[in-house]
Amino acid sequence: MSLDFYWYPKCGTCRKAKKWLEEHNVDFNEIHIVENPPSKEELSSFYKKSGLELKKFFNTSGQKYRELGLKDKLATMSEEEMIELLSSDGMLIKRPIAVGEKGVTVGFKEEQYADNWKN
């Protein structure tokens, strides 16, 4: 099983997730989320596959999120507008995102990784 692993190398949570994948011998394809953010189509697919609310894909602790005042704006935005916004800037996306046959995980929780990505 191979994963697409969207991450930001300066992000501590991303580094922990990458280390976990390496320690558990999970085959993954590293994708720098800022240099190569997922497209609208990819984000839409991740969202549907994840079963999560679209709001969970936003990096709510990020500077860009605060600068744009998204806390108040998301409630009135359509799914299409949210996906458009996310695809426009990798720094707005909560990371890491791991995408594989078994689904999609957003962020890093060790037990969630074990359930989804352990060989």
pLDDT at residue 86, as a whole number: 96
Domain 21-52+60-93 CATH assignment equals 3.40.30.10: yes
Q: Rounded mean pLDDT of the chain?
A: 95
Sheet holding 2-7, edge to edge: 27-32, 2-7, 97-100, 103-106
- Predicted confidence (pLDDT) per residue in 5-32, tens digit: 999 999 999 999 999 999 999 999 999 9
Of 57, 64, 106, nearest in space to 82 by CA: 57
* The pLDDT value given to residue 1: 62
Over the chain (119 residues), what is each successive 10-residue block's mean pLDDT?
92 97 96 96 96 95 94 94 96 97 95 91
Domain residues of the chain, as ranges?
Answer: 21-52+60-93
Query: How much is the pTM?
Result: 0.94
